Amino acid sequence: MQSHLTEIVSTGIVSYFDSSLKNMLADNELLQLSRSEHPVLRATAFREMLERKSFNHFDIIMNHLDDTATVATDAGEFGIWRRKVSDDILQEAGWKTQEAKNKTIDKVLTKHNYLRSAYLILLEIEPQEKYYPFIKDMASRPRRLSYDGWELDFDDIEYALYGLAKFKKKDDVKIIKNRMMQRVWELSDISFRLMKEYPDTAYLDVLQTYHHRQLYQFSGNTPDGFSGVIADRAAPEDFIQALVIQKNDKSAKQLDTMLTYLPKYTCMPDKQNILKEVIMEIWEHPCPAYASLREKIKPKVEEINKRQIGFTLGPIEIESSKIPIDTTKENIRWYP
């Protein structure tokens, strides 16, 4: 295997599947490889170990959360991602039960919350007071640059801000607002989801600044697009929904500005659909502050409804009690 292992180190990329390791290395040899001084070999070994039933996968996860060496990993059509070895384990692993995953979450948030996986999981978990000081610390950390790029950047911090907002503590609103204002041109759908789900008048300054500085820079490449070019971090719809939900005089004034300005703007990709989103969001969120706006857009709403073709498919009900759960498989992932 020596020549093959040398090639892995020379290439420097952790692949999703390595048939040589799968077919030629015994468990004890794979365990030895997981102790290599080369991070790429350790990460490669851990991926293979997580594929074998002969290893205790939960122990692998819990015993290697402190492996903070950074490796390049093959992300398929997305190119190459740089991850800490421990992050790679968490992203590639699976858990048999939610209880087992919760034990890992607890250790990651309390002992290893410098990992990117610690930030990502905050989107999923419910707020628990025992984690509040850790999440507040994560949300307050400065951006951090390492020798090979940003080790902690705003796209990580956004998850911590969202996790902090879940606690609904008034004193935290200022922290959240200030962090978003510092990087307002980088706001993603995570920040707008935060302002939509946990609205506060303090966020109007963020929304107003984003509207003037960033909204009209939209390139037309939405975050979930596969055009092969770098996508915008947020779609106009994310901003519009976060603004409309504020339901006050200031948000009404900003929406009125958009209704006036968008039709005249000549360089906005998908302008008509964006304008339609503004109109329909106002219409679907009635409140005293939007009364005059609703009168203004009523003819447009009627026109849109007349042109609407198709039907809405109702919810599909699945009786989950009839679906057997295979507890022998590790179907629970870190970040669904």
Closest residue by Cα to residue 237 from 204, 206, 268, 215: 215
User: So what's the pLDDT on residue 17?
Assistant: 82
Question: Which distant-in-sequence residues (6+ apart) come within 8 Å of 13 by Cβ?
Answer: 40, 72, 73, 74, 80
User: So what's the pLDDT on residue 155?
Assistant: 92
- pLDDT (tens digit per residue) in 239-264: 999 999 999 999 999 999 999 999 98
User: So what's the pLDDT on residue 230?
Assistant: 58
Range list of H helices, 50-131: 57-63, 85-92, 98-111, 116-120
Distance CA 6, CA 284 (A): 61
308: left (phi > 0), else alpha (psi -120 to 50), else beta? beta
Q: What percent of the chain has pLDDT over 70?
A: 90
- Average pLDDT for residues 163-174, to the nearest whole number? 98
- pLDDT band per the 50, 70, 90 thresholds, residue 25: very high
Name beta bridge partners: 83.
Answer: 71
User: So what's the pLDDT on residue 226?
Assistant: 46
Of the listed ranges 82-86, 224-228, 270-274, the one predicted with least confidence: 224-228
The model's pTM is 0.90
Contact yes or no for 109/334 (Cβ under 8 A): no
Closest residue by Cα to residue 289 from 261, 253, 239, 237: 253
Distance CA 299, CA 304 (A): 9
- pLDDT (tens digit per residue) in 132-150: 999 999 999 998 877 667 7
User: So what's the pLDDT on residue 227?
Assistant: 45
User: So what's the pLDDT on residue 326?
Assistant: 57
| Higher pLDDT, residue 132 or 23 | 132
- 3-state secondary structure at position 68: coil
170: left (phi > 0), else alpha (psi -120 to 50), else beta? alpha
- pLDDT (tens digit per residue) in 175-219: 999 999 999 999 999 999 999 999 999 999 999 999 999 999 888
Q: For the chain, what is the mean pLDDT?
A: 90
Distance CA 206, CA 187 (A): 10
Domain ranges of the chain: 1-94, 95-182, 185-306
Residues 127, 131, 136, 141: what is their CA dihedral angle, to the nearest 10 degrees? -130
Structure tokens given for 194? 């935060």
pLDDT at 158 exceeding the cut of 60: yes
- Average pLDDT for residues 45-64, to the nearest whole number? 96
Closest residue by Cα to residue 329 from 99, 88, 94, 103: 94
39, exposed or middle or buried, with CB in 10 Å at 0-12, 13-18, 19+? Answer: buried
pLDDT at 311 exceeding the cut of 50: no
Would you list the DSSP string of 195-224?
A: HHHS--GGGHHHHHHHHHHTGGG--S--TT
- Average pLDDT for residues 78-87, to the nearest whole number? 92
Q: What percent of the chain has pLDDT over 90?
A: 75
- Average pLDDT for residues 63-86, to the nearest whole number? 93
- pLDDT (tens digit per residue) in 215-235: 998 888 766 544 445 578 899
